[in-house]
């Protein structure tokens, strides 16, 4: 149980460092919730990169930018930050992606909006696992003021996660996922303080 808490703390600490921007972005992605989206952007880039059409060249450039955003992500926190950038880029680049898109006669069968949504859900699934593990840790602690503070931080995290999938914009959802991770890290820090005493 203690090794699991150490693993969670290590993960959350690394995620918070990345969230605060102190990890070099030049490292290859350790995890990505946007693997399918990256594959789709790469496939589109392959089709569009040799085009002489200006519109298709702009789309190719946007695909490259999306791939770079995904590749710079190092952790769950990095994927949360990337989600907002990707949503903004993809909405601007592929505004009609609520159905298969036809670009200069090319038909793309995958929908980038769906792939982006799947990335958000993947992030939420990982956050939910973290929150469940934290709840188990809190439940095993003796009654105390610190335990109540850990539970309050965990409740804040759970509320942010739930709100992220309410009536929100892409940007708001990304901010709420970040707030969830930050509150989870706070709860873990309090739990560790209790266990050290």
Query: According to the model, what pLDDT value does residue 112 have?
Result: 85
What per-residue confidence (pLDDT) applies to 169? 87
Q: What pLDDT is attached to residue 68? A: 94
Q: Which residues pair with 89 in a beta bridge?
A: none
Which is nearest to 119 in space by CA: 9, 37, 59, 177?
Answer: 37
Ramachandran area for residue 167 (φ above 0: left; ψ -120 to 50: alpha; else beta): beta
Q: Tens place of pLDDT for every residue, the chain, 197 residues?
A: 444 444 443 444 344 433 333 333 333 334 578 989 999 999 999 999 999 999 999 999 999 999 999 999 878 998 999 999 999 999 888 887 744 444 555 555 568 888 888 999 999 999 999 999 999 999 999 999 999 999 999 999 999 999 998 888 888 999 999 999 999 999 999 999 999 88
Which class for 174: exposed (0-12), middle (13-18), buried (19 or more C-beta within 10 A)?
buried
3-state secondary structure at position 127: helix
pLDDT of the residue at 109 = 56
Q: Residue 97: what pLDDT? A: 74
């Amino acid at each position: 149980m203690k090794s699991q808490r150490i693993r969670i703390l290590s993960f959350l600490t690394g995620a918070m460092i990345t969230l605060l921007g102190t990890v070099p972005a030049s490292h290859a992605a350790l995890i990505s919730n946007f693997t399918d989206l990256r594959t789709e952007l790469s496939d589109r880039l392959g089709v569009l990169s040799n085009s002489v059409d200006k519109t298709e060249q702009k789309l190719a450039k946007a695909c490259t930018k999306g791939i770079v955003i995904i590749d710079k992500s190092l952790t769950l926190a990095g994927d949360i930050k990337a989600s907002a950038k990707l949503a903004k880029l993809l909405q601007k680049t592929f505004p009609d992606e609520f159905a298969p898109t036809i670009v200069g006669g090319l038909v793309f069968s995958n929908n980038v909006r769906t792939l982006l949504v799947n990335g958000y859900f993947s992030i939420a699934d990982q956050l939910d696992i973290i929150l469940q593990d934290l709840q188990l840790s809190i439940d095993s602690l003796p009654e105390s003021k610190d335990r109540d503070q850990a539970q309050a931080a965990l409740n804040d995290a759970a509320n942010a996660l739930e709100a992220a999938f309410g009536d929100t914009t892409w940007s708001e959802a990304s901010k709420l996922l970040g707030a969830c991770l930050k509150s989870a890290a706070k709860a873990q820090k309090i739990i560790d303080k209790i266990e050290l005493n």
